[in-house]
Every structure is written in structure tokens, then in C-alpha cells.
């Protein structure tokens, strides 16, 4: 069974990171892990919240029903301050963990 990950992006009004480029990189990671992107968030097994800045317009609390959350708030990911290239490394690591849990679960 293929698992689905949702990606919820902010409007990008004050971005510290390139939302479109970050989305594409996340999409590439998901493809390499054989995970799919779901646009219907009621059917996802995990969610990447992609806020362009630390204001974090998209709140994690609004998605508390989703078990696996990866949160990017500008140059912060899962509440760690990172350089932009480090963010994608952390996202890849987190998505890999989630994929392994599903395969072993």
C-alpha cells in the first residue's frame, strides 16, 4: 500500500525560503522514497507544513489529527534554526523515518 504525504504551503508573502523550489525538492524526496503527494488532506498519512517565514501562518495545531508532521517555518524546521540547504536534509531524514515506520508497522 502506497502511503500519502500532504504538503500545505503558505501564501509566501514574506518568505525567507523559496516556497516553489522547496516544494519541488520535497516532491523529489517523496518520489525517491516511493511516497505520493495527496492533495486531499483528509487522506494523508503525514503532512509537511511549509511556511515561508517564522510568522508561521499555517499552524500545526490545526492539523493535530495528522500523526506525522514535519514543520518548516522559514529557516526553521521542526523548531531548529537551520541553513536553507540543511532544511531539506532534515526533511529527507524525517520522511525516511516515517517511510520506515510504515514499512515496519
Q: For the residues of 59-85, what is the DSSP string, one character each? A: -GGGGTT-SEEEEEETTEETTEE--HH
More confident residue, 68 or 86: 68
The SS3 call for residue 72 is strand
pLDDT at 99 over 80: no
Joined together, the cell numbers standing for residue 14 give 514574506
For the chain, how many structural domains are there in total? 1
Residue 43: CATH number of its domain: 3.40.50
Structural domain including 68 reads 5-104
Q: What is the pLDDT of residues 27-82, one digit of tens each?
A: 888 888 888 888 899 888 889 999 999 899 999 899 988 888 888 888 777 666 55
pLDDT at 16 over 60: yes
State the pLDDT at residue 36: 86
Residue 69 CA, distance from chain mean position: 7
Amino acid at each position: 500500500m502506497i502511503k500519502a504525504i500532504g504538503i500545505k504551503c503558505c501564501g509566501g508573502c514574506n518568505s525567507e525560503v523559496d516556497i516553489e523550489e522547496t516544494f519541488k525538492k520535497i516532491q523529489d524526496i517523496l518520489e525517491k522514497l516511493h511516497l505520493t503527494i495527496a492533495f486531499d488532506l483528509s487522506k494523508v498519512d503525514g503532512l509537511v507544513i511549509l511556511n515561508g517565514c517564522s510568522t508561521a501562518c499555517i499552524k500545526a495545531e490545526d492539523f493535530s489529527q495528522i500523526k506525522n508532521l514535519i514543520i518548516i517555518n522559514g529557516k526553521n524546521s521542526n523548531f531548529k534554526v537551520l541553513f536553507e540547504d540543511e532544511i531539506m536534509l532534515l526533511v529527507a531524514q524525517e520522511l525516511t523515518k516515517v517511510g520506515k515506520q510504515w514499512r515496519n508497522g
